[in-house]
Amino acid sequence: MILRKPDFYDRFKCIAGQCTDTCCVGWEIDVDEASQEAYRKVSGTFGDKLRDNIEDGHFKLLPHDRCPFLDGNNLCEIFANLGEGALCNICREHPRFVEVFGDIMEKGIGLCCEEAVRLLLEGEGPLTFTGEVCDEPEDELDDDDREIRDQVLYERERIFASLADSSLALQERLHDAFGFSTDNFFAPLKDANAYVELLANTESFGPAWDEALARIKERIAAGPVNDQGFFSDNESARILAYLVYRHYAKCLFDGYEQGKRLFAVFFWNTVRFFTRELAGDATHPVQDSDFATRINAIKILSRQLEYCEENKKRIEGAFESIPENLNENQDG
Domain of 32 in residue numbering reads as 24-93
- The predicted pLDDT at position 286 comes to 59
**Does one domain contain both 29 and 157?**
no
**Does the residue 73 lie in any domain?**
yes
- The predicted pLDDT at position 97 comes to 93
Last residue within a domain, chosen from 32, 66, 93: 93
**Does the residue 126 lie in any domain?**
no
pLDDT band at 90 (very low <50, low <70, confident <90, very high): confident
**Does one domain contain both 58 and 202?**
no
**Does one domain contain both 229 and 163?**
yes
Round to whole Å and give the CA distance between 248 and 177: 13
Average pLDDT of the segment spanning 10-34: 83
**Does one domain contain both 150 and 281?**
yes
pLDDT band at 331 (very low <50, low <70, confident <90, very high): very low
**Does the residue 310 lie in any domain?**
yes
For residues 138 and 130, the model is more confident at: 130
- The predicted pLDDT at position 155 comes to 96
**Does the residue 324 lie in any domain?**
yes
**Does one domain contain both 167 and 288?**
yes
**Does the residue 120 lie in any domain?**
no
**Does the residue 252 lie in any domain?**
yes
Helix H, strand E, coil C: the string for the chain is CEEEEECCHHHCCCCHHHCCCCCCECCCCECCHHHHHHHHCCCHHHHHHHHHCEECCEECCEHHHECCCECCCCCEHHHHHHCHHHCCHHHHHCCEEEEEECCEEEEEECCCCHHHHHHHHHCCCCCCEEEEECCCCCCCCCHHHHHHHHHHHHHHHHHHHHHHCCCCCHHHHHHHHHCCCCCCCCCCCCCHHHHHHHHHCCCCCCHHHHHHHHHHHHHHHHCCCCCCCCCCHHHHHHHHHHHHHHHHHHHHHHCCHHHHHHHHHHHHHHHHHCHHHHHCCCCCCCCCCCHHHHHHHHHHHHHHHCCCHHHHHHHHHHHCCHHHHHHHHHHC
- On the question of pLDDT at 184 being above 80, the answer is no
**Does the residue 298 lie in any domain?**
yes
**Does one domain contain both 182 and 73?**
no
pLDDT band at 225 (very low <50, low <70, confident <90, very high): confident
- On the question of pLDDT at 326 being above 80, the answer is no
Nearest Cα to Cα of residue 171 among 272, 63, 69: 272
**Does one domain contain both 311 and 166?**
yes
**Does the residue 14 lie in any domain?**
no
**Does one domain contain both 277 and 198?**
yes
**Does one domain contain both 151 and 257?**
yes
**Does one domain contain both 223 and 306?**
yes
**Does one domain contain both 83 and 214?**
no
Last residue within a domain, chosen from 93, 119, 152: 93
Round to whole Å and give the CA distance between 42 and 212: 42
Domain count, the chain: 2
**Does one domain contain both 153 and 294?**
yes
